Structure 1
Amino acid sequence: MDSIKTEIQGRLWITKQDHSFIGRGRVELLEKIAQYGSIAKAAKAMKMSYKAAWDAIDAMNNLAQEPLVRCSSGGKGGGGTQVTEYGRQLIATFRAIEAEHQQFLEQLSQQIEKFDHFYQLMKHINMSTSARNQFIGTVTHIKIGQVNAEIVLKLKGDDHIVATITQESVKRLGLQEGSEAYVLIKAPHVILVPTDSELEFSARNRLCGKVTRLIGGDAVNAEVVLELSGGNTLKAVVTQEAVTELAIKEGQALCGIIKASHVILAVKKPR
């Protein structure tokens, strides 16, 4: 009977707080951006949609200590997209780890002589939600009320977010000052207003930044992406009428208003 070569194969992912950060596909996307200086050309080379490429970049930038990709528009050079020095270092580090990982798998494969069953030894669970905005925050303050609790979290930079959840949820999530938690906000729950608006809002959260992308979407709605001071990106889905009334365009300064009750908190499950 012919011998059948048995090999162990695996995929390498770098995670932050059990949240997918970067893997081979995202590294290849960064490499294509560095090569072409364009998100659109990089997405085409990767055979992925322009929107999917941007979503991947936003996810990486939101979890990274520093931005991995920067975009510029206009100017003498005509604008473009660049991978930052931090991003290039990350690419090099990942490729080095990947080479070591492959060598480890090859050595492990050589030690297998026979087996009866395959077992899945490890499985990374990605958090999949419908919320377009996902951040990591650190709890700085918890105020307990009669029924609900007010949780204040610090995001990257000087941005803070306030969430109102039940006391039961505070206990179930094990929240305390210094704990880290995911902050989830659905894009339709983000209301955009000018930074110099004279109106006062009852909503507790006000995150300000500049418009980096305006995606037409359909005849009714559009997606607006703000780059916040700390490097996070905030997505809002607004009507085309609102885009016209606010004269929204790239580079414009706007603020996203979010009710504390619309902020969802999540933590990783204990092992």
Structure 2
Amino acid sequence: MAADRQKNTSQRVGEFVAPLSLATDLGEISPRRLALLMAIAEHGSISAAARHVGMTYKAAWDAVDAMNNLAGTVLVDVQHGGRGGGGARLSAEGSQVIRDLSRLQSLQSEFMARLKAEGDLGKSLAMMRRLSMKSSARNVLAGTVQSVHEGGVSTEVNLRLPGGDTLHAIVTRESAQELTLEPGREVQAIIKASWIILALASDNIRTSARNRLCGSVTRIVAGEVNAEVVLALAGGNTLAVIITRPSLDELALSEGTKVCALIKASHVILGVSS
């Protein structure tokens, strides 16, 4: 079957799409796998290429098989066995993919250099990237990491939201390292509306929730069982909160009511742009 796929060396494999993944008819080849493809071209060995990109030997083999299957033609010719972990070389199609990728990377670098020369367009691009993010969570807030405190198992990440609000998040140590969370890093804080507890701003209650974001009610959508309450925070952000209908009636909420959103630090999910 591999030999049959190799016969047509001029077939169209797919189209590159930002951020330089390869979209084929059968699925997408990720940037990480494309990096492996480039490393194979450079080193001529699966094991050496895997070390170069930081993959395990098995993961590299699985990635090669997946790329060949997704492309519908052999991109990498592999040979099992031997102390070196097997040799590998790119097919004509695989070499063409690398040439196209290198050219696109060069064009991308030129484009980003022009953006920098034009002024502060990078912030606008970052904003558009955040706006295009899809999530089932109702609340996605942009923020900047202020400090990171690493523990044995968990890591506390403190964020500054636009307008000055502070948000605390607790993530696993592995997640913090994988996301490269450090001061100055831009992140998205994702908070499900049902995870937020509402309290009247006049209530001086003490809770274990690390985050207390206060503002005023701007909109209420009441249902028979639950109600959605939208808050405008002092810093300019908005939060949507789902509470029960009895809670809405008990708190006597209406537009303009001063309230505080109580959010556990462990209920804040962090995301970064790849």
TM-score range with shorter-chain normalisation?
Answer: 0.5 to 0.7
Partner of 1:235: 240
From 144, 163, 172, the counterpart of 1:138: 144
CA–CA separation in structure 2 for the residues paired with 1:213 and 1:16: 29
Letter of the 1:251 counterpart: G
Letter of the 2:146 counterpart: T
| TM-score (norm: length of structure 1) | 0.54
Residue 226 (structure 1) shift: 0.5
Tell me the matched-pair count. 151
CA–CA separation in structure 2 for the residues paired with 1:258 and 1:132: 14
CA–CA separation in structure 1 for the residues paired with 2:253 and 2:224: 16
CA–CA separation in structure 2 for the residues paired with 1:153 and 1:212: 24
From 250, 257, 265, the counterpart of 1:252: 257
Secondary structure of the corresponding residue to residue 226 of structure 1: strand
CA–CA separation in structure 2 for the residues paired with 1:233 and 1:198: 22
Secondary structure of the corresponding residue to residue 250 of structure 2: helix
From 262, 266, 272, the counterpart of 1:267: 272
From 117, 129, 133, the counterpart of 1:19: 129
Partner of 1:226: 231
Q: Which runs of no fewer than 5 residues in structure 2 stay unpaired?
A: 1-123
Check if 1:168 corresponds to 2:168: no
Residue 158 (structure 1) shift: 2.1
CA–CA separation in structure 2 for the residues paired with 1:238 and 1:220: 9
From 175, 179, 183, the counterpart of 1:177: 183
| TM-score (norm: length of structure 2) | 0.53
Larger fraction in helix: 2
Q: Which structure carries more relative contact order (alpha carbon 8 Å, separation 6+)?
A: 1
Query: What is the CA deviation profile of residues 1-52 of structure 1, one whole-angstrom value per residue up to 9, with x for unaligned ones?
Result: xxxxxxxxxxxxx64345354xxxxxxxxxxxxxxxxxxxxxxxxxxxxxxx
Letter of the 2:134 counterpart: S
Do the aligned partners of residues 20 and 139 (structure 1) sit closer, same or farther apart at CA in structure 2, a change above 3 Å counting? closer
Partner of 2:154: 148
Query: What is the CA deviation profile of residues 62-85 of structure 1, one whole-angstrom value per residue up to 9, with x for unaligned ones?
Result: xxxxxxxxxxxxxxxxxxxxxxxx
Runs of 4 or more above 4 Å deviation: none
Q: Which runs of no fewer than 5 residues in structure 1 stay unpaired?
A: 1-13, 22-125
Name the larger-Rg structure. Answer: 2
- 8 A contact 1:149–1:166 mirrored in 2: yes
